[in-house]
């Protein structure tokens, strides 16, 4: 096995390793259910992409899981509707 003739300096070693750092994951919020997802991907929670339903999440679940998932999705859509901005006219009615 070849042996190096001279030792590499710590700065040279560190420059080589400068690309080894972990990068922060860039997450987006699903426009339909509000969960965090990777950009440019279909939401695994609700099956929507760019406001359109790509696949049915409930299709491959059994009866018990369908009921739980439907309840969860209904609860999430209620929360997102509640968090919408309120107009001045609606505030004056309250």
78 confidence band (pLDDT: 50, 70, 90): confident
| Domain boundaries of the chain, sorted by first residue | 24-82
pTM comes to 0.53
Burial (Cβ within 10 Å: 0-12, 13-18, ≥19) of residue 57 = buried
What was the pLDDT predicted at 38?
A: 93
Predicted confidence (pLDDT) per residue in 3-53, tens digit: 888 999 999 999 999 999 998 989 999 888 888 999 999 998 888 998 888
Interval 63-86 mean pLDDT: 76
Interval 83-93 mean pLDDT: 65
């Amino acid at each position: 096995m070849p042996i190096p003739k001279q030792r590499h300096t710590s700065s040279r070693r560190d420059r080589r390793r400068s690309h080894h750092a972990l990068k922060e994951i860039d997450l987006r919020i699903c426009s339909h259910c509000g969960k965090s997802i990777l950009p440019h991907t279909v939401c695994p929670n609700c099956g929507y992409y760019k406001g359109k339903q790509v696949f049915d999440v409930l299709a491959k679940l059994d009866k018990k899981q369908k009921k739980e998932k439907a309840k969860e999705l209904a609860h999430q859509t209620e929360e997102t509707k509640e968090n919408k901005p309120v107009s001045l006219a609606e505030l004056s009615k309250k």
